[in-house]
Amino acid sequence: MKEISVSKHMRAVEAVDFSIGSLRLCDRPVPTVRDGEVLIRIEAASLNYRDLAILDQKFMPHLKLPYVPCSDCSGEVVSIGDGVTRFKEGDRVIPVYTQGWYSGKPTQQQRTTKTLGAPLSGVLQEYIVVPEQEAVMAAESLSPRECATLPIAALTAWNALEQGGVKSGDTVLVQGTGGVALYALQFAKMAGAKVILTSSSDEKIAQAKLLGADVGINYSKHENWGALAKDATGGRGVDIVIETTGYTLAESLSCVCFGGFVGVIGFVGGHEATISVKSLLGPFVRVQGIAVGSRLQFEAMVRAIDHLGIKPVIDSSFPLEKTAEAFEHLKSAKHVGKIVLEI
């Protein structure tokens, strides 16, 4: 096997304050590998709304500064510690976002203290060390850039549809055209479901239809879009809603069918939502918060992606030194799909 050389120093991006303007490129020592750990040379990372929310102090406002942002990346194992059996040097891998969550439900401690990109150090750096249990093999059919989009966006969509029990013939409503939404669209179509997608842009709706969306609703033109979504099902209502905005929860509940499911996975539109208790009790609806997924789900999702040929939608790529511009693009909400940083 070709010997893999590892530098002693690496480039990294730090946030020295809670603002995009505080992001700076710096030099850090490459972390040391200990027993049971793997050293990964990061090839690409991707941005999530969570990363922006942290910089805007809408999430984890008491995080200690400076910190290395972002949680999602992919790369190559370049060194392994004693006792490592899951990986070898040269393997392409993806670190797991919630460290220690292998199957079932996560613990509160895992959700609050064991997540990459805050409070654990993030991935906007050339190398990262993780315990061997905290990574999965990369999808063979995807490039490093594409694999870097999987840990939060793809796995959240996968878990939400799994919790909702998606099956052939269902109708799934997906909000927006960000990373989670477009993965949910593709996974739902994979399961044989009909997909209704909402967006404020006719152009974005047209792009989503190219990926398989059956119905598009421009919510900027139709404030009560829930009624249109329900009409699109012949009045029955949708089986599953992927609620990404937060504040539109009441509208989502207005279009879900009896016994339906609303997976609340984000708050890009705001943290507050006013709903009627009747909208839950009458139609026997289940509303559940979705927080990414376990390593077991991650591995199953990667197998499905390889088997079915699902491809991430990448809006744009930026070099590491243009991290601030990448965040500004994310904040503009003009993107369709994922924003990637090449490292």
Half-sphere exposure at residue 227, Cβ-oriented, CA atoms within 13 angstroms: 3
> Starting from the edge strand earliest in sequence, which strands make up the sheet with 256-264, in order?
215-218, 194-199, 171-175, 238-243, 256-264, 286-289
- The answer as to whether 301 is a domain residue is no
**CATH assignment of the domain containing 17:** 3.90.180.10
Name the domain count of the chain: 2
DSSP string, 125-166: BSEEEEEGGGEEEPPTTS-HHHHTTIIIIIHHHHHHHHHHT-
Residue 127 belongs to some domain of the structure: yes
Are 62 and 174 part of one and the same domain? Answer: no
pLDDT beyond 90 at 272: no
Same domain, 17 and 117: yes
Residue 218 lies in a domain: yes
pLDDT-derived band at 3, boundaries 50, 70, 90: low
Together in a domain, 141 and 222: no
> Could you read off the pLDDT of 51-83 as tens digits, one per residue?
999 999 988 989 999 999 999 999 999 999 999
Q: Nearest 5°: phi and psi at 302?
A: -60, -40
Structure tokens at 101: 């969550």
118 part of a folded domain: yes
**Mean pLDDT, rounded, for 136-162:** 98
- The range of the structural domain enclosing residue 115 comes to 9-149+312-342
pLDDT of residue 164: 98
Residues 6+ apart with CB under 8 A from 35: 81, 82, 83
- What does the CA dihedral 313, 326, 131, 18 come to, rounded to 10 degrees? -140
Is residue 3 in a domain?
Answer: no
Tell me, yes or no, whether 183 and 138 share the same domain: no
Residue 2: is its pLDDT beyond 70? no
Amino acid found at 63: L
Check whether residue 52 and residue 98 sit in a common domain: yes
Mean predicted confidence (pLDDT) in 33-57: 97
284 within some domain: yes
Is residue 304 in some structural domain? no
Same domain? For 163 and 144 the reply is no
User: Quick one: 19 and 136 in the same domain?
Assistant: yes
**Residue range 193-206: mean pLDDT, rounded:** 97
Neighbours of 72 (CB within 10 A): 31
Cβ count near 82 (within 10 Å)? 9
Is 30 in the same domain as 143?
Answer: yes
The token duo for 91 is: 């393997």
Domain final residue, candidates 274, 289, 304: 289
201 and 121 assigned to the same domain: no
pLDDT at 268 over 90: no
Contact partners, residue 239, CB within 8 Å, separation at least 6 = 164, 166, 170, 171, 172, 193, 256, 257, 260, 261
Q: CATH no. for residue 173? A: 3.40.50.720
139 lies in the same domain as 164: no
Mean per-residue pLDDT over the chain, rounded: 95
Judgement on whether residues 182 and 269 belong to the same structural domain of the protein: yes
Both 180 and 132 in a single domain? Answer: no
For the cut 90, the answer to whether the pLDDT of residue 257 exceeds it is yes
Cα separation, 299 vs 293, in Å, equals 10
State the pLDDT confidence band at 213, using cuts at 50, 70 and 90: very high
Q: 155-164 and 179-190 are packed helices; what angle lies between their axes, rounded to 10 degrees?
A: 50
Q: Compute the distance between CA of residue 89 and CA of residue 82 in angstroms, rounded to an integer.
A: 13
Task: Confirm whether 299 is domain-assigned.
Answer: no
H/E element holding 52? helix 49-55
pLDDT digits (tens, 9 = 90+) for 125-148: 999 999 999 999 999 999 999 999
